[in-house]
Chains A and B, each alone.
Chain A
Amino acid sequence: MDSQTFFQLLLPGLTTGCVYALVALGFVLTANVSGVVNFAQGEFVMLGGIVAAALVAMHVPTALAVVGATLTGAAVAALQERLTLAPVRQTPHFIRITITLGVAVVLRGIALILFGKDPLFLPGFTGDGVFTLFGAVLPIQSLWVWIATAALLAGTFWFLKFTDVGRAVRACSTNLRAARLMGVNAERLTLLVFALAGGTGALAGIVITPIVLANWDAGVAYGLKGFIGAILGGFRSPAVAVLGGLGIGVVESMAAGYVSSGYKDAIVYGVLIAYLLVRGGVFVFGRASLNTGSNEP
């Protein structure tokens, strides 16, 4: 395989992988504090892109649109937590998961009504030009995606490592119950982390939109692919989740380039199922299988 084609697949793969990585990060953080895998996680990406594009189309300055759309994502996620998860902390797990799926459907519906069926366009932050790297031709917007992702990741890891609240989040990810017993205010923390995850997802959606357009129904795909990253990290390690997200982006891009673009999703989802089966202990037999693939993240 020649190296130019390789990079022409690898680098755009990494770019979309950035979005999956941020979604994966959101999955891990929210799951750890709330105990629920939020099926609406991918919808925040969709929401971010679509709101930013709509604002810019209304001649709002790009910078302002970015901030507005990010805040929208954060606010919607916080609202989701308040309205649909906080009241049902005691109900069975499978019901809470199904509720998040319902919220995802609502968000798709709202986007469809407010912004229509057609994909929305958002111009690149610094024009729609291209640049060349290792022989691969890439939109300049890719740089923005990389920078934004790097900044968000650095910020998140700093937050987790060096702030009290961040430490509380990590405590929750080790043992939710113990953390609550130790006086971590789970209510406030959950709200905060949802807002954070919503904002992060939305920002990811904003920076990628100049490259891929914003579609009302794109959330499911972002969600599923980000989920792959999250599960690679076992819903425990944010860092592995991020790497997993990047990896999925690359796999997807390679599959599209070397196999067929029609089958790329099938391949990525096939990889997901295969991985879930391995991790879920499907190939573990006997008593050892009893303790694998637990219900809680």
Chain B
Amino acid sequence: MSDLRAYKRTLALAAFAIPIVIYPLVYSGSYPVGVGIIAGAMAAGTVGFVLLIGYAHQLAFGQAGFLMVGGYTSAILCTHYKFDPFFALLIGVCLSMLIAYVIGRPIMKLRGFVLAMASLAMQLIFIVLAIEIEFGGGAMGTHGVPKFGMFGITFTSDIAFYYAAWAIAFVCVAIGLNIDRSRIGRALKAIATSETAAGSVGIEIVKYKVQMFVVSAGMASAAGSLGVHYLRAMDPNVYGFAYSLNLLTAVIIGGLTSVWGGALGATVITGLRELLRGLGLPLWESIIMGTLTVVVLITFPGGLAGAMGAVFDRIAGRNRKFANVTVAPDPSALAPISDAPPKGAVMLEVENADRAFGNLKAVNKVSFKVEAGMITALIGPNGAGKTTLFNLIGGYQPLNGGTVKFLGVPIETLLPNEIAERGIGRTFQNLQLFDNMTVLENVMCGRYRLNSAGIFAISARLPMVAREEEATRQAARAALAFVGLQGAEDMLPTALSFGHQRLVEVARALALSPKLLLMDEPASGLNDTETERLAELILRIAALGITVLLVEHDMRVVMGLADQIVVMHHGEKIADDTADNVRAHPAVIAAYLGQEAHLVETAS
């Protein structure tokens, strides 16, 4: 399948690059070339927007503010200080990224519409500053900006400028594509679907949001600089609110889910604007842009690039929606973990854990130990506080008191991703898969803590990145084979049955090579056959040397499986013993097992 993807990438590149290269040769007049320059500049600016909005779903609508930073930097440096335009562009990019980093650190902790508003407010502040601060020329702006040039050579011909602008746009697209097919691209998609699950595999959520904010600011800045050299002037209105919206429309029409989409959209939008101007209807711009935005989002959120991708998939027969998957586990697919602590050592130690919601003590001074190499089950009736306790261990909720130690080190203040980082995997009661990625990519996300490629290495696609990707892919395939889902690699999780989706989640957690695996009600929603298979899988996981702690409801699963059972009731621990002893424990029978205990006994 990856061959097909490479083919698709090449095809997309050709489909886009060839017309771009030929265009000025065919339409060499100064007007059409000028339009091409504007489109190229805008295309550069859209790539980061796609990553930020389309991939990570972060609504930083005011990103055009960074076009202003780039525009002013270029205008001022080139006009007043005679800087080389390309050098000034790079300075603008660095400055924008620096500003974006300072602003992004706090602002990207905001979510949803709150971020959208903060981002728009940021842009409006930029505009006010541009009007009020003198050295940019105030409301009049800076005029007489020289033509673009590089390395001391001024491009007297617009065609040279055209190729330079598009070359920069393509560099942005290349960086975008490199990010797209990397661990960071997956991290962004993961963040978009479920921050909870993203944290559980070790993804540092705010870090990647900020990185994309900075990357997109840099690209926007480059676009701003290019545009200013074409307009030969810069003022506060050039990249105002209207431009911001055009950029957004471009990204939406082109396709939010494809790096190419932005560039494609920029071309379409620029062409459309010029068409309207040619027809003498420039005022209609905002109605048409707005309508296009709304219509595309309602009818085809994937945009043009999404539509083309779908056509390609249909022709290439990549329609695997209804493939049949039979579960055939391969126990030898995963090797026993090498860094397992000796059997019987204390893996996890919960001491006096406390968590109250208002007056309700969900978890009340609970202490227990999980020994390495064992399967420990946490059981209790509904509302006993099992899941809350699990969330305290997994990092999803703060403790009101008490400690949690993993291999002797306190972890009770750590965030979910930091806990995953230490080698604790987890699955969720309500499935938390990344529906926007294939099964294989979902599992690859699990390798997060074991990889190290950073944004610079990934942007440049250094050889180590490709090597690491390949190793990650192999490991993910192995984890899928271990749970028995070979053949489902390229499907979307939503195309699988519920039981199979649960297995994907287990595979994703196993991909972490965890020392400890936390499973929250793994059998809920499964039928009898699936439950049996799950129990067998858990035993095989334990055989790898992975310690398992599971919350469970289904007594049959737990009794045959667990070495140790911790029973909770009304937030308190009422028993903590081997399965047999727990079954005989009077308090447990009274509080929880009751009728069912006899059933289990008679059944066994």
Contact = CB atoms under 8 A, between A and B. Distances in A.
Interface of A: 37, 39, 84, 87-88, 91-95, 97-99, 101-110, 112-113, 217, 220, 224, 227, 231, 260, 262-263, 265-266, 269-270, 272-273, 276-277, 279-282, 286-291, 293-297
Nearest to A38: B113
Contacts of B120: 220, 224
B396 A287 contact: yes
A272 to B, nearest CB: 5
B107 A290 contact: no
Contacts, number: 163
Contacts of B122: 269, 273
B interface majority secondary structure: helix
Contact of B117 (A103, A224, A289, A291): A224
A106 B287 contact: yes
Contacts of B297: 88, 91, 95, 98-99, 102
Nearest to A107: B290
Contacts of B106: 277, 282
Nearest to B288: A109
B557 to A, nearest CB: 30
A118 B252 CA distance: 31
A108 B287 CA distance: 7
B359 to A, nearest CB: 19
Nearest to A268: B121
Given A265-B124, A266-B129, A286-B398, A98 B293 contact: yes
A35 B295 CA distance: 20
Contact of B245 (A105, A231, A270, A294): A105
A262 B139 CA distance: 11
A87 B294 CA distance: 12
A116 B547 CA distance: 71
B125 interface: yes
B114 interface: yes
Contact of B111 (A113, A220, A295): A295
A276 B398 contact: no
B301 A95 contact: yes
A99 B287 CA distance: 13
Interface of B: 53, 57, 59, 61, 106-107, 109-114, 116-118, 120-122, 124-125, 128-129, 131-132, 241, 245, 248-249, 252, 283-294, 297-298, 301, 395-398, 413, 415-416
Contacts of B298: 84, 87-88, 99
Contacts of A92: 57
Contacts of A266: 124-125, 128-129, 132
Contacts of B289: 105, 109
Contacts of B292: 102
B459 to A, nearest CB: 25
B294 A297 contact: no
A189 B336 CA distance: 58
Given A105-B293, A224-B120, A273 B107 contact: yes
A209 to B, nearest CB: 21
**Interchain residue pairs A-B with the least CB separation, the first 3:** A105-B290, A109-B287, A102-B293
Given A97-B113, A280-B111, A296-B112, 10 more contacts: A88-B298, A94-B53, A95-B301, A224-B121, A262-B132, A270-B121, A270-B125, A273-B122, A280-B118, A290-B415
B248 A101 contact: yes
Contact of A101 (B57, B61, B287): B61
A103 B111 contact: no
A217 B125 CA distance: 17
A287 B398 contact: yes
User: Counting chain A CB atoms within 10 Å of each CB, which of B59, B106, B129 scores highest?
Assistant: B106
A276 B117 contact: yes
A94 B116 CA distance: 10
A297 B117 contact: no
Contact of A110 (B59, B61, B249, B287): B287
Nearest to B206: A289
A112 B241 CA distance: 15
B354 to A, nearest CB: 14
Contacts of A108: 286, 290
B107 A287 contact: no
B290 A288 contact: no
A47 to B, nearest CB: 14
A291 to B, nearest CB: 8
A293 B111 contact: yes
Contacts of A104: 290
Contacts of A112: 283, 286
Contact of A106 (B124, B241, B286, B398): B286
Contacts of A220: 120, 124, 241
A273 B111 contact: no
B125 A287 contact: no
B294 A84 contact: yes
A104 B241 CA distance: 12
B112 A295 contact: yes
A102 B122 CA distance: 20
B384 to A, nearest CB: 22
A138 B109 CA distance: 43
A36 to B, nearest CB: 8
Contacts of A277: 106-107, 109-110, 118
B109 A293 contact: yes
A87 to B, nearest CB: 6
A45 B525 CA distance: 50
Contacts of B415: 286-287, 290
15 contacts: A94-B59, A98-B293, A101-B116, A102-B252, A102-B290, A103-B294, A105-B289, A105-B290, A106-B287, A110-B287, A263-B132, A270-B121, A287-B396, A287-B398, A291-B397
Contact of B57 (A37, A94, A262, A290): A94
B287 A37 contact: no
A92 B129 CA distance: 35
Contacts of A93: 112
User: Counting chain B CB atoms within 10 Å of each CB, which of A84, A108, A269 scores highest?
Assistant: A269
Contacts of B125: 265-266, 269-270, 273
Given A224-B124, A276-B118, A287 B287 contact: no
Contact of B397 (A37, A113, A287): A287
B445 to A, nearest CB: 19
A278 B343 CA distance: 47
A116 B531 CA distance: 68
A263 B128 contact: yes
B435 to A, nearest CB: 10
A4 to B, nearest CB: 28
